[in-house]
Amino acid sequence: MTILVTGSAGFIGYHLSKKLLEANHQVIGVDNINDYYSTELKYARLEQLGVARVDAAIDGLECSSERYPNFKFIKIELADSDAVKQLFKKYTFDKVCHLAAQAGVRYSIENPEVYIQSNLVAFGHLLEAVRHNHVDHLVYASSSSVYGESQEVPFSVTQRVDHPISLYAATKKANELMAHTYSHLYEITTTGLRFFTVYGPWGRPDMAYYLFTKAILSDKPINVFNNGEMKRDFTYIDDIVEGVQRIIEQPIVNRECYKIYNIGNSRSEKLADFIETLEKHLGKKAKKNLLPMQPGDVSQTFADVSALQSDYGYSPNTTIDEGLKQFANWYLKTKMG
């Protein structure tokens, strides 16, 4: 298949692109390579995919891979309607996996405009492109943040999610509603995936485990919110990518036009235990700065993944001990901080 992966220089997008390329699919990767976090890390991910440095690339310029003949990367801004139209005019896609977005709960409180452009306007352009170019299936990233402060655990896709507590969460809920409308009006097949705290090698440096690692190794204190009592469904990147690949490659269950799934580890781990495991694999204790909850944060996430298990055979099996061991080894080896 020919598959468009948006956000291919991002954490999940990079890993998914690599997995799909190794399965011999044709992958067109796009990204705007913004500076929300280190562009050096984004370039390094692309280099792992065989694409030479593209920091000087002109928007819209196609870059070929020296490692994967079936991969091309294009730097574009999805909030630019004309750029999206040109992309779909040049290529015919069997599937689209939309992972590009402005991430970060706390950042959305300080920088709302970028979320509106990247998460709402861009998604609208992509839906229009999928509609007019007869793409078989649109798979897109939602987020566990849509559950807000729900006390019903584990979180189920049957729960109402009408009360997001950050703009980031609101944009992800809006994406689900936009996809539902397009599925209903135009019979476009869409699948939304509510990701739960993804971690692992080549991860996002704004994520807590990455920040913790950098600080611990530098003998600096780490900020531990809610005194370490928060609980998260930490999900290792390989489990996430395996699940997304199944959805892309397998026939759509019951040919339903609109689906939403949780994709997580189906375990809720206390942040304090997560830190202790990270300390073990770094071989160094953390200096902890215990702080209260931050605006927009939630006290717990916990995914019910039974629907994804039933429909696609999804089976996450990476413990935080094994996952953090892999991350720590990668970080200590590459120093990508």
Which active-site residues does the annotation give? 168
Residue 249 near residue 23, CB atoms below 8 Å: yes
Q: How buried is residue 38: exposed, middle or buried, by Cβ count under 10 Å (0-12/13-18/19+)?
A: middle
In DSSP notation, 3-24 reads EEEETTTSHHHHHHHHHHHHTT
Q: How buried is residue 304: exposed, middle or buried, by Cβ count under 10 Å (0-12/13-18/19+)?
A: buried
For residue 336, give the amino acid letter: M
In DSSP notation, 198-213 reads EESTT--TTSHHHHHH
Spacing of C-alpha 92 from chain mean position: 24
Place of tokens 């061991």: 325
Residue 332 near residue 252, CB atoms below 8 Å: no
CA proximity to 65, closest of 49, 54, 77: 49
Residues shown for the chain: 337
d(CA 193, CA 261): 5
